Structure 1
Amino acid sequence: MHAFHDIQFALQADTFHAPVKGQFAFHPDFLLLINIDGDIAATYTSDHPHYADVRQTLVAQDKLKVLEKGQYLMPGLVDLHCHAPQWPQAGKGLDLPLYDWLQNYTFPLENRYQDLAFAAPIYQDVTRTLLANGTTSAVYFASIDRAATELLAQQCMDLGQRAYVGKINMDNTEQCPPYYCEQNITAALDDTDAFIHNVLAIKGNENRLVQPVITPRFVPSCTPDMLNQLGKRVQQYDLHMQTHCSESDWARDYAKQHYGKTDVQIYADAGLLNHKSVLAHSIFLTEEDVSMIKAYRAGIGHCPLSNMFFANAAMQTRELLDSGVQIGLGSDIAGAPSPSIFRAAFDAVSHSRVREEGVDVRLSAGQRGTANARISFVEAFWMATAGGASVLDANTGILETGRHFDAIVIEANTTIGNLRIWPEFDTPRDILEKIICLAQKENVKRVWVQGKDVLR
């Protein structure tokens, strides 16, 4: 009999994942062995020659958990772009232009996070909410306040979410409101350095479950000196970097008028791009931008729903996927109101279909859309899991040996939510598409991060 001393538990589950872009794998009664470090030590498909023996041993050692039929195991979802302090404004003011929305709602709200008593319950709630929706990895913009941002990092650590947390930097007094702007670049950079050190020093964070992220808000909000100084820190510490990239006509035009360059060129010249950079939105990219993103192995956080409200155009998702750019999904709370990455995956598909079909009925069918622009639900699932993990250079997103065990269980039954499965005629692909279209918070029954059950 195998000893399996280093195995803390094993699962037998009908399992979905997408190791390859554009494809998915479904393994009925898949066995996954999770070691004491929270990593996947081994997997066995039901037709593996040792499957029965391994299963019998696990049962004998009381280490096997068997999921019920109608429950499906899949990788945890990855949210590449979430503004944690904007959670209270989700669903508000979405009829406004981006600039007005920021000035009227966002900046006044974010400014309140200098009050830790105000910040604490909101940061705990947004983290819990994302976990409850199946988001095991979240990339958070916080605010300019170091103490509150460190509080968010601590909340993520306490609740067990894999998190990438950024203290925002914004020091351009011409573009930022006077009450919410870092007037002193030296103090802002000192705060950034302290933030990096303090997050890495959180008790229990030796394996960097929670990581600091360099976060220039976007080109208009930062002076060139700020961008360059932050770039030095990306290079010095080999850190993740997150920012908004070419999100709207206004943002694109600002870069051209003030720098004579695109956002991507500005970030590259400042040293801000690396293989762990998350460029949210990335709507107005030139061919040179795409080549540069690929050269740096940076990635894009696609936020389809907020793009519909604020971006002025649709991202060329199909073309970017085909070009080999790494792409994942972002909720963009609160530029979009939903905390669900399943919703983001659904919106990515619908967004692409609108691009392909077009909207102007005065044009003929052959003229009104962009040919071959659609993406599939399987590709959206890949972006929500393996694609997002790849953007972060994270060892997650796929349920295979050697990966961190970040996973969720989706349950379909007739008493919760809207997700219904009819096994007699729903194929595995049907089931996966139904989960993306219909799964709600109520269907997320279990959430593991690094092998730890974190759903509360």
Structure 2
Amino acid sequence: MTEYTQIFKGTAFSSTSPKEVQTLKDYLFFINADGTIEKVVAPEHIDYQTLLDTYQDNENFHQLADGQYFLPGFIDLHVHAPQWAQSGTALDIPLYDWLNKYTFPIESKFSDLDFAKEVYEDLVSTLLANGTTTSLYFATVHKEASLLLAEICAKKGQRGLVGKVVMDDPEQNPDFYRDADTQTALADTEEFILAVKELAKSTKQGVYPVVTPRFIPSCTDGALKGLGELAAKYDTHVQSHCSESDWEHGYVQDRFKKNDAFALHDFGLLGDKSVMAHSNFLNDADAELFAETGTAVGHCPISNAYFANSVIPIAHLHSKGVDIGLGSDVSGGFSPSLFDNARQAVMSSRMLEDGVNTALAAEKRGVPNSRITINEAFYLATAGGGESLSLPIGRLEENYTWDAQIIDTKIASAKLPIFDKNEDLNDIFQKIMYLVRPENISEVWVQGNKVHERTK
């Protein structure tokens, strides 16, 4: 008899495509020692009852209670880990001022490892409690504190992809917060990559080093070129900001006479392990380059409402074949919850389609065919994120990792309005996506291990 470390029984929701969510009613999920879903069995399968009889009395058999459901763990493609310390503040000023007056000063404090430990431990725990099982993190310029973040992810059981940020241009960065020089930035990045790869050898769910030029304005050409070479040498993930706002997009055009996408590509920073945050101002040529290279967009809808001067055309980019996932952009986005960001993704897309300027006629006010559904937003938070990172995560199906959140719709403090015991499961899924709060998330599992349980 095959040995499974965990067996789960319950109703789950998982994306089969950007627009379609599959309802897996009363399925059995068998998890192997690696934390991978080895077998998924539907109630109508010939072996279902035999398997149920065989395993249901085992200690490692978990059956959901009435009103509980499985969702895949969420995948956050853009988190500024140090900015957790300033979340919810200074969101009403321009991006350039926000960075220089608030963000760079707080990030500079992470040279203090005690402060870094306090903030990072709280952040990782908070994200897990919000159902985020994988996070793609910008840390700071500090090599030691960035490694500490990877170690905290490893310890707490979150799958962390962590980047030591590079900001080496003395003309574009403050004296108190930048890399000492280009060579130091590249040497620290290489040492960081090697240290995280060593840590990964003993981390079941995986930790990954990420080559991280903050964005083109903060880096010299030498740093961008060197980072592209390091990404190729060590086959790492890559992240940066791309065509985020009028100011940043315009800066790159002035400096390189081309858009961010092509400038980043020139330095070897696009590829199937690359995620570019925001990307609001991509044109069709940029989008085609992303699709051709396998580069993904980290869509940050709450943050974009504050700092991007625009609404990104997600539906159009999907039609161009671009991989897209969802990001919170803590703290440009105030909420650490991808539930909140999924909701905002839908709302922003509707505003783009309908338009916002009532002085214009209805037919001239918006951008046709721009809306996305809650199914598509769920896909961005799960399967789309997995595809963006080229990892087997984000779906509850065979050969994917058991990264799951158990949603309790009946908890007294956050009961969902479900009054018909035979309510359509698709309607229940929509209520979950629109109404769940952190207290509804009763358990979170990563790579077959329980990493969070709601305290009563």
Report the TM-score, using the length of structure 2 for normalisation. 0.97
Instruction: Report the alpha carbon displacement of residue 422 of structure 1 after superposing the two structures with TM.
Output: 2.9
Query: Comparing 228-237 with 426-435, which one deviates more in the overlay?
Result: 426-435
Amino acid in the other structure paired with 1:390: E
Query: Comparing 55-64 with 160-169, which one deviates more in the overlay?
Result: 55-64
Deviations, residues 46-90 of structure 1 (Å, cap 9, x unaligned): 111111011111125444211012100011000000000000111
Paired residue for 2:2?
A: 4
State how far apart, in whole Å, the 2-side matches of 1:203 and 1:356 are: 44
From 385, 404, 421, the equivalent of 2:418 is 421
State how far apart, in whole Å, the 2-side matches of 1:203 and 1:329 are: 24
Any idea what SS the aligned residue of 1:41 has?
A: strand
From 268, 279, 299, the equivalent of 1:302 is 299
Paired residue for 2:438?
A: 441
Relative distance call for 1:113 and 1:62 in structure 2 (3 A) is closer
State how far apart, in whole Å, the 2-side matches of 1:277 and 1:140 are: 13
Paired residue for 2:155?
A: 158
State how far apart, in whole Å, the 2-side matches of 1:414 and 1:292 are: 47
CA contact (8 A) 1:200 1:206 kept: no
From 368, 371, 380, the equivalent of 2:365 is 368
State how far apart, in whole Å, the 2-side matches of 1:69 and 1:87 are: 35
From 13, 16, 27, the equivalent of 1:16 is 13
Instruction: Report the alpha carbon displacement of residue 203 of structure 1 after superposing the two structures with TM.
Output: 6.9
Paired residue for 1:235?
A: 232
Which stretches in structure 1 are left out of the alignment for 5+ residues? none
Paired residue for 2:128?
A: 131
CA contact (8 A) 2:288 2:320 kept: no
CA contact (8 A) 1:414 1:420 kept: no
From 272, 277, 287, the equivalent of 1:275 is 272
Kindly report the root-mean-square deviation, in angstroms, between the aligned alpha carbons of the 2 structures: 1.3
Alignment of 1:198-213 (within 5 A): 198-202=195-199, 205=202, 209-213=206-210
Give the share of equivalent positions with the same residue, in percent: 42
Query: Comparing 226-235 with 418-427, which one deviates more in the overlay?
Result: 418-427
Instruction: Report the alpha carbon displacement of residue 243 of structure 1 after superposing the two structures with TM.
Output: 0.4
Say if 2:355 is the partner of 1:358: yes
Which stretches in structure 2 are left out of the alignment for 5+ residues? none
Number of matched residues? 453
Paired residue for 2:29?
A: 32
State how far apart, in whole Å, the 1-side matches of 2:215 and 2:83 are: 16
From 93, 98, 104, the equivalent of 1:96 is 93
CA contact (8 A) 2:8 2:62 kept: yes
Alignment of 1:19-98 (within 5 A): 19-98=16-95
Deviations, residues 144-194 of structure 1 (Å, cap 9, x unaligned): 000000000000000000010000001111111111111311111111111
Deviations, residues 288-310 of structure 1 (Å, cap 9, x unaligned): 11111011111000001100100
Paired residue for 2:138?
A: 141
State how far apart, in whole Å, the 2-side matches of 1:68 and 1:294 are: 42
Alignment of 1:183-194 (within 5 A): 183-194=180-191
Query: Comparing 188-197 with 362-371, which one deviates more in the overlay?
Result: 362-371
Instruction: Report the alpha carbon displacement of residue 329 of structure 1 after superposing the two structures with TM.
Output: 0.2
Say if 2:331 is the partner of 1:342: no
State how far apart, in whole Å, the 1-side matches of 2:165 and 2:427 are: 41
Relative distance call for 1:423 and 1:298 in structure 2 (3 A) is farther
Relative distance call for 1:102 and 1:340 in structure 2 (3 A) is same
Query: Comparing 63-72 with 130-139, which one deviates more in the overlay?
Result: 63-72
State how far apart, in whole Å, the 1-side matches of 2:251 and 2:289 are: 20
State how far apart, in whole Å, the 1-side matches of 2:30 and 2:61 are: 9
Deviations, residues 319-373 of structure 1 (Å, cap 9, x unaligned): 0112221100000000011000111110100000111111111122212111121
Instruction: Report the alpha carbon displacement of residue 414 of structure 1 after superposing the two structures with TM.
Output: 5.2
Any idea what SS the aligned residue of 1:137 has?
A: strand
Paired residue for 1:412?
A: 409
Report the TM-score, using the length of structure 1 for normalisation. 0.97
